[in-house]
Structure 1
């Protein structure tokens, strides 16, 4: 099977197969049917809105994986990998993946959330060593003093120096989404200081337009593949 990159956005409290009017109780019921114990335990420790976003995202990710693999969502077992915690049945965070009958499935996955939306990226039949990262950002959350100094390289700060208002917030968010997508791809996360990573023209990262991602226009997103 040829490798294919699939990007999909899910609105707040929606996962594939849900009716638009399905309640939060319905979301929790479906999570109880399909998600792992470790995922459910993690959700219980969250405040209600964060819990709902988390459950919707994990359900959407599992159902997208099942769709692309042509299997039942309930037959997949989550397999997360964290640089610090390793991989195992008790790990519910880090790089997502699944197994089928104990065998890792040929699928790379990445997930990001912003403003209640979940953005999923999946790469089918990846080549050995390939990695994937995706990120979505709300420009309004980038509006705080000192952002440029702690998040942008000198070249990036120069690139945004003449921007003001909405244009400045959107460009900051665009650069931050590119950084997050790249650092998810490499597995470094924010252990690498973001002000040392220049993403203006870094190979392997591209912006995702709303027409491709399915996100509303006010959000910005990026995907990294390498």
Structure 2
């Protein structure tokens, strides 16, 4: 099985140069222009640039040669959302990619020269972001709720966030997204779905990887 390359970057660490925005493509720039909060817009742009630079470094090419090619299983190619990808010299760049942002960080994942049909998804979540009232009822399966009740109250917030990160990673990988009811997806024991080692993410965050 292809081994994914993971990289965690702090958003804002890399400066945005004058010519960088033009490399993001019109769909991404149009989406960036719709953010009401400038901080959210800047974080979105920084995340997209981080993925572009990550892809260029893996392929050992100038980032100017890469053209964003986001494809949504429902909406088709040329989107501002969906599964990320790039065109390289008029052909598809040989990468399977995924990315996720949370709390000022972006988690990047790639497989270089992936096998045909290989897909991956990653998700990065804040532990504090999934504890609102009613979350368990709309997001967790009955089996997952029973699992949460079996761990200590102090551990529940962490485990709840891990379950949600697994769901998001899996649904990114499958391409279904939240069109699939997350409460109907049990992620306690799915082959190809893993928590990312806590030592690889900052305190207060959890992450998961799906590969299939």
TM-score tier by shorter-chain length is: over 0.9
CA RMSD after TM alignment: 1.7
Match of 1:39 in 2: 28
Give the Å deviation of 1:40. 1.7
Q: TM-score, normalised by structure 1?
A: 0.88
Match of 2:70 in 1: 80
Match of 2:11 in 1: 12
1:185 and 2:173 matched: yes
Match of 1:22 in 2: none
1:58 and 2:48 matched: yes
**Change over 3 Å in CA distance of 1:169–1:148 after alignment to 2:** same
1:9-50: CA deviation from partner (whole Å, max 9, x where unpaired) = 111323xxx3xxxxxxx5373532532122222112112111
Match of 1:131 in 2: 119
1:42-86: CA deviation from partner (whole Å, max 9, x where unpaired) = 112112111111111101100110011111101100101012221
Kept after mapping to 2: 8 A contact 1:31/1:40: no
1:153-175: CA deviation from partner (whole Å, max 9, x where unpaired) = 11110000144554111100000
Kept after mapping to 1: 8 A contact 2:67/2:87: yes
Q: TM-score, normalised by structure 2?
A: 0.93
**Change over 3 Å in CA distance of 1:199–1:63 after alignment to 2:** same
Give the Å deviation of 1:147. 1.4
DSSP 3-state at the match of 2:18 = helix
State the number of aligned residues: 211
1:225 and 2:211 matched: yes
**Change over 3 Å in CA distance of 1:166–1:41 after alignment to 2:** farther
Partner Cα distance (1:203, 1:4) in 2: 15
1:100-143: CA deviation from partner (whole Å, max 9, x where unpaired) = 11100110110111111111111111111111000011010111
Kept after mapping to 2: 8 A contact 1:181/1:224: yes
1:172 and 2:163 matched: no
